Structure 1
Amino acid sequence: MSDSSSGSSWLDRLGKVFSDEPESREDLVEMMRAAHHHGVIDADALAMIQGVLEVSESRVRDIMVPRPQIELIDASEPLEGILEDMLESSHSRYPVIDDTKIVGVVLAKDVFRKVVKGELNTKEDLQAIYREPNFVPESKRLNVLLRDFKESRNHMALVVDEYGELAGLVTIEDVIEQIVGDIEDEHDEEESANIQKRTGEIFSVSAFTPMDEFNRFFKVQLDEDLTETIGGFLAIQFGHVPAVAEEFAVDGIVIRVVKASERRAELFEVRPAKSAAVDGEEGLVQQAL
């Protein structure tokens, strides 16, 4: 008798949850939440369903890795330097830039295969294994991108803005994480570091980088008593919330704002002062007192 009652109760609950057809996306989400509340689906299933719905609405610009954080291979560097950079960063794919143009993509497995066979001795050998870059617009929907990834078996795309300039990078893992949540691997801790090398002597620096860490890494002596983070230090120097493209020169380096909101700066690019000029862009350069 109790089993029958339990079964009836479960069916009643299930029927109640799905008694009305959803008329909108919001109705569907509420229905799924109700199903979770009544024990029909668990929290993980609810999160993935919501993720699938969000992927169908989100665009590449919402999840891409912005350009300043992309690990690029500079085609002008010596082969030895390129291989050392790849070994240090341990990514599986690298866009190759020549001057300001993306000329290809290098896969770490292709390089490893050539090295093992003793066939990678010159930069021409490296150029021979460049793969065709896959470009997508910032406005592309994530569900369409995921389908393209599956059909082409290409797991990385370079994102371009409305002017055809490189804006960022997106991988199939980035899209899948929107559905199932963060997928951690052995390199995630390294990739989440406050200071990351880009190409040559150029680095990406989080605005939350502690002042002592910044000073130690770049061998400078910025005043650590003013604030705890480099973002706060620059806000004090500018006298306002730093805006994108503003620059600050100090102790032989130039710190350039590459990502900021109305409330705070989020990401900087740091390079030696001798190479601080940015083609086609204007920035406010202030000398430290």
Structure 2
Amino acid sequence: MTSDHAPARANEKEEKRSLRQRIAQLLYPPPATPQALIDTIAAAEEQDTIKPEVRIMLERVIRMESMTAADAMVAASRMDMLDVDAPYEELLATVIRTAHSRFPVYEGSRENIIGVLLAKNLLKLQRAPELNIRSLLRAPLLLPETKRLNDLLREFRLHRNHMAILVDEFGRTSGLITIEDVLEEIVGEIEDEFDEPEDLGEIYALANGSWRVRGDTPIGKVQEYFEVTLPEADTQDELETIGGLVAHVLGHVPARGESVTLASLHFDVLHAKGGAIRWFRVTRPAAQQG
């Protein structure tokens, strides 16, 4: 008894075999260096053996072989952390302001990290005040900043953890890195559970009276929405986006946590990557509201 799907499956296998054969042909003789391998992959794209997005991902995987955790980490000075002795209201405000899903928790000084708190677990303290934040902490995963990124992925899988605290050769905290940071080196930027989908718009209000504003929002749209006149950039290049204007005013592409006030609006950088500002948190001084 024959199947109508048999010819289709045979053709599919033939196509797959053909693709493997073409790749094998491109890789013979095998490239002697990583750069030679990258050049070979680029040639495969030019010959339509692989798609551009596949070429980009393969290149990133190859380059990642020589990268360490220090190349992709958030430096210690920029880490958002929680003080284990801080009142609940202060902890909650930090979680809302920074919009991370997990936080290093310290006691006494920022160098003394005693655990990691999942943001969602903070709600347990609100429902059960008798609980202590210490009971909600997870043991931190401590790793050297020199660990290679491909080895770091194995550590995350082994320990079932999504974040590691990195230390230097003297045992001091040098930064932190998440599994998302590592994966972004391969597949590019990915949205986490706190990133808002772009179809929600460029500007939208939050329940706490602030706004989330995308960095690529046109300057004119920001002025119209907030009914303000933003300062014109003193440059020959015409700036079109609010992210470009803020970067010009500051003189550099700001990192997360930097801020500036323009025309009665306070812009806090929530997320910057790849030389561009992704998201701002915008607030008005109390005297300006209403």
Q: SS of the residue aligned with 2:65?
A: helix
Matching residue of 2:122: 111
CA–CA distance in 1 between the matches of 2:94 and 2:21? 61
TM-score, normalised to structure 1, is 0.58
Correspondence for 1:165: 173
Determine the C-alpha separation between the residues in 1 that align with 2:179 and 2:187: 12
Q: Which structure's relative contact order is higher, taking Cα pairs within 8 Å and 6+ residues apart?
A: 1
**Structure 1 range deviating more: 79-88 or 61-70:** 79-88
What aligned pairs does 1:135-214 form with structure 2 within 5 A after superposition? 135-163=142-170, 164-167=172-175, 169-185=176-192, 187-188=194-195
Pair 1:49 & 2:58 matched? yes
Encode CA deviations 1:54-98: one digit per residue, 9 max, x unaligned.
222100111101223322112232122212322343321111122
Q: Give the CA deviation at 1:154.
A: 0.7
The structural deviation recorded for 1:115 is 4.5
Task: Report the equivalent of 2:41.
Answer: 32
What CA RMSD, in Å, does the superposition of the two structures yield over aligned residues? Answer: 5.7
> Matches of residues 44-123 of structure 1 in structure 2 within 5 Å?
44-101=53-110, 102-112=113-123, 114-115=124-125, 118=127, 120-121=128-129
- Give distance in 2, aligned partners of 1:173 and 1:186: 11
1:144 alignment partner AA: D
How far, CA to CA, are the matches of 1:59 and 1:177 in structure 2? 14
User: Which amino acid is 1:165 matched to?
Assistant: T
Deviations 1:140-194 (A, max 9, x none): 1101111010111011001222332343x1001111111111102463479xxxx
Deviation, structure 1 residue 15:
6.5
CA distance in 1, matches of 2:193, 2:141: 26
Check whether the contact 2:76–2:173 (CA below 8 A) recurs between aligned residues. no
The code of the aligned residue for 2:105 comes to V
Query: Percent same amino acid among aligned pairs?
Result: 35
- Residue deviations 1:226-283, cap 9 Å, x none? x8xxxxxxxxxxxxx99xxxxxxxxxxxxxxxxxxxxxxxxxxxxxxxxxxxxxxxxx
Q: Which runs of 5+ in 1 are unaligned?
A: 1-6, 191-223, 228-240, 243-289
**Amino acid across the alignment from 1:21:** P
Distance 1:59 1:12 in 2: 34
Change (3 A) 1:166 1:98: farther
- State which drifts further: 181-190 or 25-34: 181-190
Counterpart CA distance in 2 for 1:177 and 1:14 is 26
Q: 1:39 to 1:84 in 2, by over 3 A?
A: same
Which amino acid in structure 1 is aligned with residue 67 of structure 2? Answer: S
CA distance in 2, matches of 1:129, 1:100: 20
- Please state how far the C-alpha of 1:12 moved relative to its aligned partner: 9.2
Find the aligned partners of 1:111 and 1:161 in 2 and give their Cα distance: 30
Change (3 A) 1:41 1:88: same
CA distance in 2 between partners of 1:160 and 1:24 (Å): 31
Q: Aligned letter for 2:115?
A: G
TM-score (norm 2): 0.58
Contact 1:55-1:175 at 8 Å conserved across structures: no
Contact 1:73/1:82, CA 8 A, preserved across alignment: yes
Taking the TM superposition and a 5 Å limit, the aligned residue runs for 1:120-139 are: 120-121=128-129, 125-139=132-146
Equivalent-residue separation in structure 2 for 1:172 and 1:39 (angstroms): 32
Offset at residue 36 of structure 1 (A): 1.2
Deviations 1:189-245 (A, max 9, x none): 79xxxxxxxxxxxxxxxxxxxxxxxxxxxxxxxxx99x8xxxxxxxxxxxxx99xxx
Q: 1:186 to 1:171 in 2, by over 3 A?
A: closer
Distance 1:36 1:157 in 2: 36
| CA–CA separation in structure 2 for the residues paired with 1:161 and 1:109 | 30
Q: Separation in 2 of the partners of 1:27 and 1:103? A: 45
Aligned residues: 249
